[in-house]
Structure 1
Amino acid sequence: MGTKALLDSEPESNEWILTYADLMTLLLVFFILLFSMSTLENEKFTDAVRSLNMALEGAKGANSVINMEHEAPVKPEIPQESEEVLPADNLASSESELPNEAAMDSQNVAIDAEWQRLTDELESKFQIANATNAVEMGQPKDGKLVIRVKGSALFPSGEAEFHPQMMPMLDGIVQVMRKNPQYKVNIQGHTDNLPIRTLQFPSNWELSAVRATTVLRYFVRGGVQPTRVTATGYGDAIPLVVNNNLENRAKNRRIEFVLEKSE
């Protein structure tokens, strides 16, 4: 029997399949390793590009080295320049709008001192005229000073001509008014509620008005400018106390001098 016939007669062997499988397995492992290495390098490269883009902080898409799956950070907008206002500037501005408390206090002290000087001058004049018992002087309030003179001390009952002995007291007020031209005075006549009905004075309104006007004329004759003096008659409309007895009626019969600084 020949050699060819011997080979053909040998049974077929499958061992080559094992070798082929091993080779394929090795090739697969090799390609997997290559793929893994390629992916790792790509990720490292991508991370490097991303870091570079973030460092540059350029405008949107303008600083990308390669196309990335995400957008590069947008460069923040630079605000327009504005003048810086320091806290001290705000404080100075607010303080300039507020009233100067020190200046106001100083002004109030000066006003109080001026009123005190005027009050002292009047009190001195009344003492010289021996009229302190007939005069009641209040405290300056709301820019006004009220001096009350008893009606019975200044005028006889039902008359409008003042007693001659009260002229020194009136002269004292005139002298103070002439010395202080920045003040004006309103002379107010008041009566009690007992009615009066005469040819000269049909009611207490006329009596109080004529009494106030009589004092005004005396002031003007004494040298006080007419523009600084006014006279008003109130009758029994503004009593100090209730007109229910002789004592209270005497209190309500009065002449008031209201001094006020001219504007």
Structure 2
Amino acid sequence: MKKVFAVVTAGALFQLTGCVSQSTYDDALSQNQSLEAQLQAQTENNSSLRNTQKELTEEIAALREKQEILQANNALAVSEKAALEAKLTAKEDSMSNKLAELRSTFSQELEENSIKIEMLRNDIKVDLSDDILYASGQAELTEKGKEVIKKVAAQLANSPYIIRVIGNTDNIPITGRLANRYPSNWDLAAARAVGVVRLLQSEGVEPEKVEAVSRGEYYPVAENDSDEGRAKNRRTEILLRVQ
């Protein structure tokens, strides 16, 4: 025979027995209410757990999305770093090659100490003594000076370099009739730089890549208290920089 189990409320039990005491009824009712309260609490707890689980799932999804973004950014940074390193290497190689070419082209002038060529941090500097470019107190290039600048132009035409031509003088004031044309060393240095720029352009160097700068007497490389020192300060510098 099958056994049948039934759950009855305290009220139903009282009706069935008809003789249950009030205390027994109260105990059953209290127990039933306690069970209902536990059930309600468990239901609320389950609902809270489901909400927490949902929130955790959403947080995990958000974290995964952030991780993917970080990984993508990291990959981009690695790629950009590699590209930058390649660009810097190409720049260094280009400057090293150009330095070697210039030294080969001006080997005689280097031996005579009329030209100095050196690699700076971001530039190649060609330092030209005024003795090789100009007559004393003049801004017009000598024939020898024109020959030298044309050799420079041959190395720079169609090159990737930005070219800055900088005029420098000693600190001896300009006097006499020459002062009517060049009132100060600023003016003389500027005229000399412009003259070099014009010749470079006429020899095929792109005008937009060249600029003329005057520093006058204010950037000496030696003391101006001797003929030798003043001769070092009278110079035209050509700075080459890769874009």
State the TM-score, normalizing by the size of structure 2: 0.70
Relative to 1, partners in 2 of residues 1:221 and 1:41: Cα closer, same or farther, differing over 3 Å? closer
2-side partners of 1:261 and 1:234: how far apart?
23
1:134 is aligned, of 114, 124, 145, to: 114
Q: Is 1:75 the counterpart of 2:56 in the alignment?
A: no
1-side partners of 2:194 and 2:83: how far apart?
41
1:45 — aligned with what? 32
1:168: how far off? 4.5
Aligned length in residues: 211
2:168 — aligned with what? 190
Relative to 1, partners in 2 of residues 1:237 and 1:35: Cα closer, same or farther, differing over 3 Å? same
1:166: how far off? 4.5
SS at match of 1:158: coil
1:202: how far off? 4.0
- Give CA deviations for 1:44-93 in whole Å, capped at 9, x if unaligned: 434443443344x16xxxxxxxxxxxxxx693374588582315314225
1:254: how far off? 0.3
- Give CA deviations for 1:201-242 in whole Å, capped at 9, x if unaligned: 443233323322332332233222333333333321322233
SS at match of 2:153: helix
SS at match of 1:75: helix
2:213 — aligned with what? 232
2:130 — aligned with what? 151
1:94: how far off? 4.1
SS at match of 1:234: strand
1:120: how far off? 1.8
2:14 — aligned with what? none
Aligned CA RMSD, in angstroms, stands at: 3.2
CA contact (8 A) 1:160 1:214 kept: yes
Considering fraction of residues, name the structure with more helix.
Answer: 2
CA contact (8 A) 1:115 1:140 kept: no
Larger-gyration structure (1/2):
1
Matches within 5 A, 1:1-263: 37-55=24-42, 57=43, 75-76=47-48, 78=51, 82=58, 84-85=61-62, 86=64, 88-95=67-74, 98=77, 100-127=80-107, 130-132=108-110, 133-142=113-122, 144-180=123-159, 182-200=160-178, 201-261=182-242
CA contact (8 A) 2:132 2:144 kept: no
Q: Which stretches in structure 2 are left out of the alignment for 5+ residues?
A: 1-19
1-side partners of 2:29 and 2:213: how far apart?
108
Relative to 1, partners in 2 of residues 1:260 and 1:159: Cα closer, same or farther, differing over 3 Å? same
SS at match of 1:259: strand
Q: Which stretches in structure 1 are left out of the alignment for 5+ residues?
A: 1-32, 59-72
Relative to 1, partners in 2 of residues 1:53 and 1:214: Cα closer, same or farther, differing over 3 Å? closer
Higher relative contact order (CA 8 A, sep 6+): 2
- Give CA deviations for 1:154-195 in whole Å, capped at 9, x if unaligned: 323223344434555323211111141x32322222110112
1:3 — aligned with what? none
Pick which of 41-50 and 152-161 moved more.
41-50
1:38: how far off? 4.6
Q: Identity, % of aligned pairs?
A: 24
